[in-house]
Amino acid sequence: MAAKEMSQVKNILDLSIEEKRNFLNSFDFLMTDCDGVLWNLFEPIPGTGEALRDVEAVGKKIVYVSNNSVRTDEAYEKKIVGIGATYRQEDLVHPIHTIIHYLKKINCQELIYFIGTAHTTNLLRAAGFNVIVGPNERVEEDFHKLVTLVKDNQPVKYVIMDVDFNYGYPHFLRAELYLRDPECQLILGATDYRLPMMAGFDLPGPGYFMDALALTLPPGKKPIVLGKPGVGLGEILKEKYGVTDPQRVLFVGDMPLPDIKLATNNGFRSLLVLSGGTSREQMLANEDSTQIPDFYADSITALSTLIQSLPPQSAL
């Protein structure tokens, strides 16, 4: 298949009536990012709840797929219900959910070294896994003491890394030492490089730290990525929701990487919205074909406008 070019990508509201009908009938699942699509850091994006209700009303399955495991499931429920959309716990997916799913599927009994928040650590332990963390104490500026601190010789078989607000050099060293064991596997959650906070302001994401750790792996040893844009996440989504034809999934996101690349990596169709971390200028400048969407819109509310613009029988 020929690589996509940005010049070929249309705004869904600029489609003809027939093209709008074909677009709406082309998917059974709408999988959507949350931050930057349904809400921004400090406030909801107007009309997003109505858009999701309209999509459900024409028979589509809604799944929320976020890279943010820092927010609790209860907080997700409050935000989703708060915008006027339907929340079902089983239809919320974020990296810790997929990591737990994967570990249960392989019947993990081994020791896990986890780099993440206190909340996500508790979720892994509550799921029944043997998890160690740290070191969390301040390191004296002495190499002998540093080695003594990080080299604990624990029989760790999985190093799992997600967002950690307090990640530091000792964590990197301890993880690298565990991963020297050929049987120790690296699993990654959210690999984002940029974290949009508000209009015109973002922060570096955990992806840079994860890349540094992955670079220490020997040739042929690759991490398993269970957050966006990983193929591992895509496989779990297909399995969990019974997706037999990936082209019948429309993934909506505000970031070319990881959202649109997730869709490309897993055979989904994609809709980039400009309500979050990507401007129109940034979208047009992107030349990476894996990050070019099938369609774009100013926001997810364009789905409401599209549905309502069609005669009732055309939106079935």
The pLDDT value given to residue 315: 47
User: What is the residue-averaged pLDDT of the chain?
Assistant: 95
Q: Which residues are CB-contacts of 78 (< 8 A; sequence separation ≥ 6)?
A: none
> What would the two tokens of residue 22 be?
């074909």
What band does 3 get if pLDDT is binned at 50, 70 and 90? Answer: low
Read off the pTM.
0.94
CB 189, CB 229: distance < 8 Å: no
Does 314 have pLDDT greater than 60?
no
Strand partners, 11: 296
For residue 31, the SS3 value is strand
> What would the two tokens of residue 203 be?
């922060």
Residues 217 and 209: their CA atoms lie apart, in Å, by: 14
CA angle (297 as vertex; 52, 254 as ends), nearest 5: 80
Does 268 have pLDDT greater than 50?
yes
Q: Which residues are annotated as a binding site?
A: 33, 35, 66-68, 228, 254
Q: Which residues are annotated as a binding site for Mg(2+)?
A: 33, 35, 254
Strand partners, 202: 196
pLDDT (tens digit per residue) in 79-89: 999 999 999 99
What band does 313 get if pLDDT is binned at 50, 70 and 90? Answer: low
The pLDDT value given to residue 316: 47
The pLDDT value given to residue 2: 53
Instruction: Report, as an integer, the average pLDDT of 238-264.
Output: 98
Q: Which residues are annotated as a binding site for substrate?
A: 66-68, 228
> What would the two tokens of residue 176 be?
């690298």
The structural domains of the chain, ordered by start, are 6-95+229-309 (3.40.50.1000), 108-225 (3.40.50.1000)
User: Which positions are annotated as active-site residues?
Assistant: 33, 35
CB 255, CB 277: distance < 8 Å: yes
The pLDDT value given to residue 201: 86
Does 64 have pLDDT greater than 90?
yes
Residues 187 and 158: their CA atoms lie apart, in Å, by: 7
Instruction: Report, as an integer, the average pLDDT of 101-119.
Output: 98
pLDDT (tens digit per residue) in 111-142: 999 999 999 999 999 999 999 999 999 889 99
Does 175 have pLDDT greater than 90?
yes
User: Strands 156-161 and 111-115: what pairing?
Assistant: parallel
User: Strands 185-188 and 92-93: what pairing?
Assistant: unpaired
Identify the CA nearest to 164 among candidates 225, 126, 118, 228. Answer: 118
Identify the CA nearest to 228 among candidates 158, 294, 162. Answer: 162
CB 260, CB 291: distance < 8 Å: yes
CB 24, CB 51: distance < 8 Å: no
Instruction: Report, as an integer, the average pLDDT of 91-110.
Output: 98
Q: Which amino acid is at 277?
A: G
- In the chain, % of residues over pLDDT 70: 97
The pLDDT value given to residue 167: 97
Instruction: Report, as an integer, the average pLDDT of 192-206.
Output: 89
DSSP secondary structure letter of residue 298: S
